[in-house]
Homo-oligomer: A and B are copies of this chain.
């Protein structure tokens, strides 16, 4: 009996040891950030760092400056012993604290990365970014297999565009949506004070989630935004002028939210149709932000074709992703969790993948790991159910987005109809 027990114990010890060797690979971890920053991208960074530091088998935690570029260039920062207090400050900062990049690696680029990684005995690689960064993860992962470099690659999602496939929503989106909703809430009051047409151009190359979030500004019938145009629907210029005229006649004013990426019936972005120079990044994306072109074009169109004199536009640009002091609490919490879960998944087995958020209740989420290929270089568009028509979103979208953004009125109802 005793012999049997000892044998059984030995068997279990071996199994546990085997699982441990397989799962918790000894080595160091490397984390980096890619693509456009968000208001909460550093929450994910800190979530991952803190989780990594609790794992005895992961000796050192390194950060690479400016994404994959900093790996090739060996621009490492040792994050192993930075104080928790300092990390909590970093977590609350917008921008990518480690720096970012738009670089897209190929096999040669990856081999250079592995040379540096070997030197630091990196066996866990975490990359925080959008669909381009997920694609980078896929390339790095495949290249590592190809050259026989043992590496676990986990993509930690972020994007204000909310356009990643396989996840209910993306960290970073809720805070940007909060900025957009707060901006339109204020603009609605401003425009009611001095009536006219107001056009707010919101980020979103292929997906309209962020622009659509402007709907949260609306409290009562007559409030703006009155018209919402996203890249999911064809943007017909004549129809647009007609829509604005209609609203203006009804309310004496009109507030429009429009995505920078709205396209004509051939899929050509309205913004690039008139740009002389078109700028592309390494991932082939056309640069749409950081210019007031689309807004100015639409203003001219309304002035000339709808004969309305007071027409203004704001292009929200970089403010919506970097404004200091506009964060959704839910978004910040989830961004932190996504970072922590990336580590949990990475040490759980020989897995690579992307962390996804699954909505399981009103409002509750759980985290899961999905394949890199599901997310890489793909774009999720807004569901048909999220539209009422081609210039307005549906109640289903409001129900979807509200918990991600939180209460923008701080628990009170502010409205000029009080007076």
Contacts and interface: CB of A to CB of B under 8 A. Distances in A.
A238 interface: no
A36 B194 contact: yes
A178 to B, nearest CB: 9
A318 B198 contact: yes
A321 interface: yes
Nearest to A314: B317
Contacts of A317: 312-315
A289 B97 CA distance: 33
A318 B314 contact: yes
A99 interface: yes
17 contacts: A37-B194, A63-B419, A89-B418, A90-B418, A92-B414, A93-B414, A94-B189, A95-B193, A97-B419, A182-B324, A186-B324, A189-B324, A190-B322, A290-B312, A291-B296, A296-B296, A312-B318
A292 interface: yes
A351 interface: no
Given A193-B100, A325-B182, A416 B95 contact: yes
Nearest to A36: B194
A186 B323 contact: yes
A293 B299 CA distance: 12
Contacts of A312: 289-291, 317-318
Most chain B Cβ neighbours within 10 Å, of A79, A182, A186 = A186
Contact of A323 (B37, B183, B309): B183
A35 to B, nearest CB: 9
A96 interface: yes
Contacts of A79: 419
A326 B82 CA distance: 32
A408 interface: yes
Contacts of A94: 186, 189-190
A155 B410 CA distance: 32
B185 A324 contact: yes
Contacts of A324: 182-183, 185-186, 189, 408, 414
A419 B90 contact: yes
A61 to B, nearest CB: 12
A30 B237 CA distance: 45
A316 interface: yes
Contacts of A36: 194
B193 A93 contact: no
A314 B319 contact: yes
A51 interface: no
Contacts of A416: 90, 93, 95, 97
Interface in A324-354: 324-326
A43 to B, nearest CB: 13
A93 B189 contact: yes
A102 interface: yes
Contacts of A188: 95
Contacts of A187: 318-319, 322
B314 A95 contact: no
A404 interface: no
Contacts of A100: 193-194
A416 B296 CA distance: 35
Contact of A290 (B90, B192, B299): B299
Contact of A192 (B95, B194, B313): B95
A382 interface: no
Closest 7 CB pairs of A and B: A292-B292, A95-B189, A290-B312, A186-B322, A314-B317, A190-B322, A96-B193
B314 A290 contact: yes
